[in-house]
Structure 1
Amino acid sequence: MSTVMVAKKARRKWENLPGKNTFCCDGRVMMARQKGVFYLTLFLIVGTCALFFVFECPYLAVNLSPAIPAVGAVLFLFVVAMLFRTSFSDPGVLPRALPEEATFIEMEIEAANGNVPPGQRPPPRIRNVQINNQIVKLKYCYTCKIFRPPRASHCSICDNCVDRFDHHCPWVGNCVGKRNYRYFYLFTLSLSLLTIFIFAFDIVHMVMRSVDSGFVVVCFFTLWSVVGLTGFHTYLISLNQTTNEDIKGSWSGKNRVQNPYSHRNLIKNCCEVLCGPVHPSVLDRRGLTLEGLSGSANPTAAIKHVSKNKNPEVQPMKTKAEHSPEEHAPGFTKHDITPSTAGITSLEKSPASSEKEVESPTPKDLPPQSPSDNTNSNQDKENTY
């Protein structure tokens, strides 16, 4: 009789995650699917610094100070490190609801809203929570089937809900959210310092040699854009706001609603955004999931396959001792047979003794015995049992 065994294969959770993200290095690197602008950003940074180190630094190191190339190299490495940290990390993606959770939430919403007459628009799916004595609305995401936490929003490019969503930045090839915003700000700040450093010493080089260079014009426009971006995000950090909230006017405008997340203090707001703890990822993208696979009709091969995978869920096969004739012998019950290994081994080693016990004559065939003989026979039976 052939048996069918079911084995389970372990896979990483990032392989089954929804959304439009790209994963590399076995789920350690998480980026958006559109990464072309990120490569352009990396090329511009590396190319500009390469021109500076090749054409400017040799003259400046000899005539001014050899510390100029060293400081430029440190700034360059820090900029690249912050760029990779922002681009390759989880920005704070929220997991989608499971089918059972989505069904339960839909039932709760229908019970709260009641039956909507046909032709009428159902009321918006909103929940109210209180934060710092102020009511904040939690909106329902029809894609992720969850009520988004405060300050979270759904990114249409990555197709994920991101906690404390700031914006989707194509220059870094990723969303900017709760888990990588500080690294994004440090990237823009260090890039501004690097641009100022290159621009300043390029002018010094021109003055010392009294030549004109078009490289200064390129550095000027780069400096203007990067410093402006850094100043804008410094303003947002001082108010504890996000770019999404500033564009939508969530805490300004006609309603005059105050920002419930602001501490009304510049230093406290900056410390919360830049110096607070880094929240762990809730995706567990490198965790393991088990997927069922149809097994072989050969039980020996299936057991070998499962033993290699060390699967503890396989049921042990019955041995011959469990089907021995003693299980159905008169005077025995299921509780009389112990499943110990020693008992099974002794039964397998002495089959003759078990046959003698089964084939022993009944009391009807024996001649009448005296009371003393009966006592001895009872003791022998107890010893046998």
Structure 2
Amino acid sequence: MQGKAQLSDSNRRIMELDAPPRRVYQAWKGSNLFFLGGRLIFGPDVRSLVLTVCLIIVPVIFFAAAVCPQLGHEFHSQIGGWAASVAMIFTAYILAILLLTSSRDPGIVPRNSHPPEPEDIDGSSNLPDWPGGQQGSTGLPLTRDVLVNGVSVKVKYCHTCMLYRPPRCSHCSICNNCVERFDHHCPWVGQCIGKRNYQFFFVFVSSTTLLCIYVFAFCWVNLRRIMDTHQCKIGGLTSFHLYLISTNQTTYENFRYHYDWRTNPYNLGVGRNFADVLFSSVPSSKHNFRAKVKDDSSAFTSSLSMGRVLSPPKMSVDLEMGMKRQAVAAEDLEDLHSQIGSAMGLERCGTEPPHFVGRKGCSEMSSDIEAFAEEFGMERGFNERKKIERRTNDDS
């Protein structure tokens, strides 16, 4: 077992000697991200660059594809093509500056592998701020004074990087590095802005501003041409409603009553009018649209009790009559035929059976039965029985 252990230890030493040395970016203790073998260094939020690039490219694409052709058509020249070409070249230049701003070392101060020795600290240190062994930095003061152009400036000790920060240096909590002439950490470029990339950052910001002005100017020229061609104005509705809000009027009141400052009872002053219209709480609705609706059968019953029968819709009548026609059986039709025959006989002889006393007469009963027969499609048989009756009367 010991031989194996010794063999493994020796092998481990041989592997360590034969292994290629690690590069600085591979052993980096900060939060930076490296690409192309350490040639490009970004902050940990480098993904925000995608949004920044889209915000620059997408408007330029719409400008070149929509506005520039319209400009060429309006002015009957090559101005649209030139405007698009300049915009695209300027955009490429801005993207290059953006890459230089975000992919360069912003001025990171190298870390120390161990804290500085106390004897290396001169007498300019502030003894009242002595940490007294804080985080293993025994005997190191928190601040020290350095001369900058003859002026004494305090610099702080960084416990993370184990060094006294140079003047105008600060530790970035996002990248976890001390950066010289630290300006800020810009999330739009995903990198700290410091001594080595501030110039590129300023050029990027100013160039982007010029690109916005350039695109906006041509868009405004195109918009003015469209307004002059179609005789229209933009922003009139917004201005009109700003006037209505400032005087606390509605559009209807303005056209109907023609309020002025004296006769408008709702005018509270410009400030209170804006507060009343735009910043007042929205009142609750006077309707509960999710509430259950009461059944209308009670209303139908009450109307029947008062003698007012509600006529159902025609569609429901047709459906009911269809169901009735299907429900009538063959034997019911035979009974109906017999009732019709007896009614015809009563009408012919002019007599009524005792159980018809106090009810409708023969003629009225026959007319009712005739209407009922027509409803069920029995008009043909009823007419045939009428013809037979007339022939019998003529023979008699």
What is the TM-score of this pair, normalised by structure 1? 0.49
Larger Rg: 2
Q: Name whichever structure is richer in helix by fraction.
A: 2
Q: TM-score, normalised by structure 2?
A: 0.48
